[in-house]
């Protein structure tokens, strides 16, 4: 179809190689803090892409990714922790069978995290997709809270509010960047296929989608389950990055962060989700200085924790007023667009049509 397919594939491979080289040097040369930021960037990019599949592409305003992240994080953490570690951690109630005996390799725990999360997505989907629009948002918001509260109260499974400590730090740059790449590849391909077009059709006009024979319920379910699967793995990676998890980590705040990212990137754009995830994650670190005590002229401002979120919120408000489309709108990155952009620049702005 595309005459430039070979060239584009070569360029994509080259780009991946460049990123891999950068990561290789970062892995050995960068400080722990910098590596931590890179890891966060990669995980959040993948999470944003998967969240965008249901919220942006399919247009179903779900507010429950924190539930999937929590499920994934707990599943994989409970699987990689050694039986001894679990015995020591669960001081109030001992952990139930078979979790007290099981220990699996990291990759198995991640697959399990994705699968369990996808299964929850399937079960949740039945009540969730009985409603639309605002109601759907409220129902998913509710499920997000339910998962957190359950995690808080099932002492013998999740260790309750004490959380899980001493999770081994398996997550490294290769895991996170590999996961981000796999997510972008999978979701990107899905969106470009006829299944993806059907998802977009549901966003534009569900009635018309039904009229041309699209089973809207199962297509929405498909997007939801795929989204849950990747969010679950992301949760697993996050757990093995920060090594300590507790229910308070998976509040609505996490969902809100992801929501900012996909809105900033442009709802429906995978490219936008990645760009915005990098921007917000890096920006969150870069903006740390605003929370420190400052002296501006005669003004002595004490450190205000949470100031960064105020800035992000303001950013979101400004975007809603001036650039509702976000960074990318619904467009996607493509080499062809880059080349036609370069050609336009070469021709000069005057002659551009």
208 sits near other proteins (criterion: CB under 8 A): yes
Q: Shortest Cβ distance from residue 209 to other proteins (Å)?
A: 8
Q: How many Å apart are CA 11 and CA 28, to the nearest integer?
A: 26
Terminal CA-to-CA distance of the chain, rounded, Å? 25
Q: Shortest Cβ distance from residue 20 to other proteins (Å)?
A: 22
Closest CA to 58 of 118, 132, 1, 112: 132
**Burial class for 13, CB neighbours closer than 10 Å (0-12, 13-18, 19+):** exposed
249 sits near other proteins (criterion: CB under 8 A): no
Question: 178 vs 329, which CB is nearer to other proteins?
Answer: 329
Interacting residue with other proteins among 100, 152, 216, 251 (CB under 8 A): 216
Closest CA to 80 of 103, 100, 101: 103
At 68, is the secondary structure helix, strand, or coil? Answer: helix
* Residue range at the interface with other proteins (CB under 8 A); choices 45-53, 184-192, 282-290, 307-315: 184-192
Interacting residue with other proteins among 22, 156, 200, 284 (CB under 8 A): 200
Question: 154 vs 325, which CB is nearer to other proteins?
Answer: 325
6 sits near other proteins (criterion: CB under 8 A): no
201 sits near other proteins (criterion: CB under 8 A): yes
Number of residues forming the site for other proteins (CB under 8 A): 24
Question: 125 vs 144, which CB is nearer to other proteins?
Answer: 125
- Give me the DSSP letters along 277-314: HHHHHHHHHHGGGGGS-EEETTEEEPP-TTHHHHHHHH
333 sits near other proteins (criterion: CB under 8 A): no
213 sits near other proteins (criterion: CB under 8 A): yes
330 sits near other proteins (criterion: CB under 8 A): yes
212 sits near other proteins (criterion: CB under 8 A): yes
190 sits near other proteins (criterion: CB under 8 A): yes
Q: How many Å apart are CA 158 and CA 78, to the nearest integer?
A: 8
Interacting residue with other proteins among 4, 189, 288, 344 (CB under 8 A): 189
Question: 163 vs 196, which CB is nearer to other proteins?
Answer: 196
198 sits near other proteins (criterion: CB under 8 A): yes
285 sits near other proteins (criterion: CB under 8 A): no
169 sits near other proteins (criterion: CB under 8 A): no
* Phi/psi of residue 300, nearest 5 degrees: -115, 105
Interacting residue with other proteins among 45, 141, 151, 222 (CB under 8 A): 222
Rg (alpha carbons) of the chain, rounded to whole number: 22
Q: How many Å apart are CA 220 and CA 59, to the nearest integer?
A: 9
- Those residues with Cβ within 8 angstroms of residue 219's Cβ, 6 or more apart along the chain or in another chain: 58, 195, 198, 199, 202, 209
**Around Cβ 262, how many Cβ atoms within 10 Å?**
26
Residues forming contacts to other proteins in the complex (CB under 8 A) are: 186, 189-190, 193-195, 197-198, 200-201, 204-205, 207-216, 222, 330
């Amino acid at each position: 179809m595309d005459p430039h397919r070979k060239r584009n594939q070569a360029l994509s491979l080259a780009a991946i190689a460049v990123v891999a080289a950068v990561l290789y040097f970062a892995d050995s040369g960068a400080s722990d803090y910098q590596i931590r930021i890179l890891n966060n960037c990669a995980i959040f990019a993948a999470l944003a892409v998967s969240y965008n599949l249901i919220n942006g592409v399919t247009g179903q305003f779900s507010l429950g990714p924190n539930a999937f992240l929590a499920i994934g994080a707990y599943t994989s953490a409970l699987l990689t922790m050694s039986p001894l570690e679990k015995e020591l951690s669960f001081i109030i109630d001992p952990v139930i069978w078979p979790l007290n005996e099981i220990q699996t390799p990291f990759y198995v725990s991640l697959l399990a995290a994705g699968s369990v999360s996808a299964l929850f997505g399937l079960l949740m989907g039945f009540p969730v997709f009985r409603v639309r629009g605002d109601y759907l948002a409220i129902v998913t918001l509710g499920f997000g809270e339910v998962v957190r509260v359950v995690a808080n109260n099932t002492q013998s499974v999740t260790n309750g509010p004490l959380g899980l400590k001493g999770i081994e730090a398996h997550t490294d740059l290769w895991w996170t960047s590999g996961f981000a790449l796999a997510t972008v590849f999978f979701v990107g391909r899905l969106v470009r296929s006829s299944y993806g077009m059907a998802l977009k059709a549901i966003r534009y006009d569900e009635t018309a989608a039904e009229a041309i024979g699209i089973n809207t319920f199962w297509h929405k379910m498909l997007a939801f389950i795929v989204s849950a699967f990747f969010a679950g793995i992301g949760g697993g990676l996050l757990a093995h990055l920060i090594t300590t998890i507790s229910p308070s980590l998976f509040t609505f705040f996490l969902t809100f962060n992801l929501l900012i990212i996909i809105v900033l990137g442009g709802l429906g754009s995978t490219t936008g989700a990645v760009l915005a995830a990098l921007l917000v994650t890096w920006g969150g670190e870069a903006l740390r200085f605003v929370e420190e005590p400052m002296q501006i002229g005669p003004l002595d401002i004490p450190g205000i924790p949470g100031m960064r979120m105020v800035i992000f919120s303001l950013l979101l408000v400004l975007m809603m007023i001036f650039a509702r489309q976000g960074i990318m709108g619904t467009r996607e990155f493509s080499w062809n667009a880059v080349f036609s952009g370069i050609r336009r620049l070469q021709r000069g702005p005057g002659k551009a049509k």
